[in-house]
Amino acid sequence: MWASWPESLTQKPERSSFFAKHKTPAALLRSIDSDVLVTRAWQYLIEAKPESWRDELIEILPALPLAACDGVAQRLIESGRSVADFEPVIERILASPLPHFDALLWLWNGPSNKELLANVTPISILTRILRTLEFARLSDDVPNDALKRMKAVARAVVPARKRERFRECLDGLEPGVARTLKLQISRGEGFGYSVRDDLVREIERRLPTEAAETGNRTLEARGYSIRHAGRNLPQARGNRSSRKRQNGRERSCHRRGSRARRSQ
């Protein structure tokens, strides 16, 4: 991961030549471990490829790191790209969220141009984030370092907008869908306990019927446990009585044996 520019890229001619020849600009940008340097990198790519940068950047947008997504999208729109040009890009992100996880979080965080999400609901983005984190956790193909990074970025992005965006998710949500969403959140491990609890409480606050049903199910479960325990009480008491009688007989036998030995 790059945390600073290599010495060879401090001069414009060498830098322009490097970016012009690089065959995988998306991989290059993802290898930079600095938001500032990522921004400079895609700007240098524009500088190095004045004729083709529009086509290249819109093609690699789904694979870009989170820090670059919105800036690149804005620059493309300023250069004349229409909102319709981004529809295939967003479809790719939603269709394959695992390799495009940063871009998926960008969609959740909200592009600066709101028209880009005119046909995408917040709930569809959130459920994909949850499913992708769970899939990555269970998959043998996702390295631990990559999984840790996914969780860290998700925890940084989702809570920051959880009130505004999450309320948008819950607006007009049917109880059954809300229940499924709550189950996904409560079982998922990607967000951490505090974020999970906040989101679940928000569902229950916005949808009182869901909170009431949760409470009823809890009471019913407790009632079942009490009844179940009550049915076993006679048997348990009988077992204890049997054990007491058995222990008493064993002690009596022991005392008789001791007296017999002393008399001899």
Query: pLDDT tens, 18-43?
Result: 777 777 777 777 777 778 888 888 88
Question: Given this model, what pLDDT does residue 73 score?
Answer: 96
Q: How does residue 242 score in pLDDT terms, banded at 50, 70 and 90?
A: low
Work out the average pLDDT over 156-160: 74
- pLDDT for position 105: 95
Q: Which of 87-91, 108-112, 248-252 has the lowest mean pLDDT?
A: 248-252
Q: Which of 191-200, 225-234, 254-263 has the highest mean pLDDT?
A: 191-200
pTM of the model: 0.70
Greater model confidence, 136 or 249 = 136
Distance CA 98, CA 142 (A): 9
Q: What's the pLDDT band for 10 if we cut at 50, 70, 90?
A: low
User: For residue 226, what pLDDT is reported?
Assistant: 46
pLDDT of 221: 46
Q: Is 232 exposed, middle or buried (0-12, 13-18, 19+ CB in 10 A)?
A: exposed
At residue 82 the predicted structure's pLDDT band, cuts being 50, 70 and 90, is very high
pLDDT value at position 243?
56
Mean pLDDT of 1-15: 57
Burial class (CB in 10 A: 0-12, 13-18, 19+), 125: buried
- Please indicate whether residue 246 or residue 230 has the higher confidence score (pLDDT): 246
